[in-house]
Amino acid sequence: MMRMANARVAWSARATSRLTVAIRGRKLFYGDTPGDSLDLSGYLLLPGLVNAHDHLEFNLFPRLGRRLYSNATEWAHDIHQPEQSPVREHLSVPKRDRLTWGGLRNLLSGVTTVAHHNPYDEDAFGDDFPVRVVRRFGWAHSLAFSPDALERYRETPGEAPFLIHAGEGTDAAARAELRALDRLGILGSRTVLVHAIAFQGEALTTIARRGASIVWCPSSNLLTYGATLPYDRTRAAVRLALGTDSAISAAGDMIDELRLARSQSGVTPDALYAMVTTDAASILRLREGEGGLANGAVADLIAVADEGQQPAEALLQFAPEMVIVGGRLKLVSKSLLSRIDPAVIRGFQPIALEGRGEFYVPFDIARLLRDTRAALGEAFRLAGKPVWQ
C-alpha cells in the first residue's frame, strides 16, 4: 500500500480538499490509515489525463508532409513512402520499442490513459507499459481506408465506443463523409469522430442529434490542413475530448496540445480540464473512474507543484512531478525523488526530455536509447523533442 499525505486533491476543475490518499492494489481511497506516508506538502494531485487519440508507434517519426492538404486521403498518399528516408529508418526500429516510446511520450506529459487508434497489442500493452491503453472499443481507420467500416461497427459491442477518422480535411470530399457515415448507419451515440474539422453548421446539428462525439486534435489539424474545428460552435452542440494524434502529423505532446487548444477562440480552462478528464472518460466509456479521483476509483493520478491555483489553471502551467497509473508509480521528477523511499524506486532509470526536465521511470531507458540510436542516430527526437539519459 502507498499512502500520501498533505497534498491538495482535485475534485473538479475548481474544487480541492486537503486529504490523505491511500492506494491499495489498483484503487485509491481517502481517510486516515496506519503506516508511513509520502509527504506531498506543496503538491496538488490531479486525475491522470486521458488522451483520446494517438497512434503510439509513430511518435519517433518526424512530422511528414510537405504542404497543406485538402483532406486526409491526399495527405496519406503523399507521405506513404515506406522505402524512402526518413520512413524507412524509423520503421526499422522494432515496433515494440516504438510503442514504448509512444507510451513514454504520453507518460511524460501526465497522460495515464490513451486511445490508440490501431490494433490492441496484447504483448505490449500490459501492466509494464508506461500508460494504460484503452482495450474495450471498436475502430476503423476511415471510410477511405477501411472498406469494412460498417462490419467493424456492427462487430463492436453495444456498450463500447467506435472510433473513426472522419471529416479530416477542408474540402467537399471531407464534408461528404458525414452523410456517408449516416447513410451506412455508423453514426450513433457510441460513434467517436476523430478530427471532424469539415463538419460545421447543419453537420454539427446532425452529429448532436445522433449523440456522437468528437475528438479534437488542433495541432495535427492546423499543421496538416491549416484549419481546425470552430470550437465555440462545436462545443455548444457536441461533446469533445482532446487528442494529440501522433508525431507524423502533430507537434509536441499533451502539454503542448493543451496550450495550443487554450489559444483557440472561446476555449476556457474549465472546458479543457473536462476534455482530458471527465468528458474524455465518458466519451471513451471508461468504467473504472478514470478522469477523476473519486473514492474507490482506479488510482490514476499526477502530482504538480501547488501554487494555490485551481485544478483547471494547473493544466496551463503543467509540469508533472509524479505519475501513478493503476496504483503503480510510473514517473517521479528529479526534484521529488528525495521524498520517495529508495526501495520504491529501485531499478528506476533517468530520462530527460527537452523542455520537460529530468524524470525517473521503471523502464530500461538505457537499452531503448542504445537500440533506437543504432537505427536513427544520436539526435533522434520523441514527438519533436530531444531525449537523453
Q: Compute the distance between CA of residue 245 and CA of residue 94 in angstroms, rounded to an integer.
A: 20
Q: Compute the distance between CA of residue 32 and CA of residue 251 in angstroms, rounded to an integer.
A: 43
Q: In what order do the strands lie in the sheet with 49-54?
A: 49-54, 111-116, 132-133
Q: Compute the distance between CA of residue 61 and CA of residue 59 in angstroms, rounded to an integer.
A: 5
Q: Compute the distance between CA of residue 23 and CA of residue 254 in angstroms, rounded to an integer.
A: 26
Alpha carbon distances (Å) from 283 to 52, 134, 215: 9, 12, 9
Q: Compute the distance between CA of residue 207 and CA of residue 191 in angstroms, rounded to an integer.
A: 9
β partners of residue 9: 17, 45
Which is it for the CA torsion 58, 60, 63, 65, positive or negative? negative
End-to-end CA distance of the chain: 30
Place of cell 480538499: 17
Q: What is the mean pLDDT of each run of 10 residues along the chain (389 residues)?
A: 93 95 95 81 97 98 95 95 93 97 98 97 96 98 97 96 98 98 97 97 95 98 96 86 97 96 94 97 98 97 96 93 98 95 95 96 98 95 96
Strands 349-353 and 357-361: antiparallel
The fold for domain 50-283 equals TIM Barrel (3.20.20)
* Domain edges within the chain: 50-283
Q: Compute the distance between CA of residue 356 and CA of residue 376 in angstroms, rounded to an integer.
A: 22
Strands 381-382 and 385-388: antiparallel
Q: How many CB atoms lie within 10 A of CB 200?
A: 15
Q: Compute the distance between CA of residue 160 and CA of residue 357 in angstroms, rounded to an integer.
A: 37
Q: What integer pLDDT is reported at residue 34 of this predicted model? A: 67
Q: What integer pLDDT is reported at residue 233 of this predicted model? A: 81
